[in-house]
Structures are given as C-alpha cells and as structure tokens.
Amino acid sequence: MNLVIYADDEIIFNPDTIYRDGKTIKAKKNLDYYHLCEFKNDDIAKEYFIGLKNSIHDKPRGMDIINVKFE
C-alpha cells in the first residue's frame, strides 16, 4: 500500500493495515500500532472509516496521502 498518513504529530509511511476497533481508528506498521483517532460512538467511527477506505480506493494508483483530523 503506497500511503502516507498524517495524524497529529505522527507521519506513518506505508502502514501494513488501517482498521477500526470499536470507536477507534488504528494503523499497524511492522510491530508498531498507532491510535489515529477516537470517536464518540461506533456509528460515527464506522462512517468515518468507510469514507476513509473509499477515499483511498477511489484515487488512481500512486501515493495516497491521508490527513487524520480531530474535532
């Protein structure tokens, strides 16, 4: 996966996976796990994760860049 994630003060290059764990969005890179963002409930996290997944897959192949913002 050619992907760069900007989350607060972390930059993650080519994570192994991005996943939702309840109301939290997380990423894994090698043996490191990153807590990207946490939402008030599971439904909001699920909607955000689906949008995130779609934004990655809708782009032409190349380097995808994601900014994870907290509100």
Burial class (CB in 10 A: 0-12, 13-18, 19+), 70: exposed
Tens-level pLDDT at each residue, the chain (71 residues) = 567 777 767 777 788 888 899 999 898 888 988 888 899 999 999 998 888 887 776 665 555 666 665 54
Q: How far is Cα 36 from Cα 22, in angstroms, rounded to an integer?
A: 13
* Res 54: pLDDT: 79
pTM above 0.75, yes or no: no
Return the domain boundaries, the chain.
3-68
3 state SS for the chain: CCEEEEECCEEEECCCEEEEECCEEEEEECCEEEEEEECCCHHHHHHHHHHHHHHHHCCCCCCEEEEECCC
* Res 71: pLDDT: 46
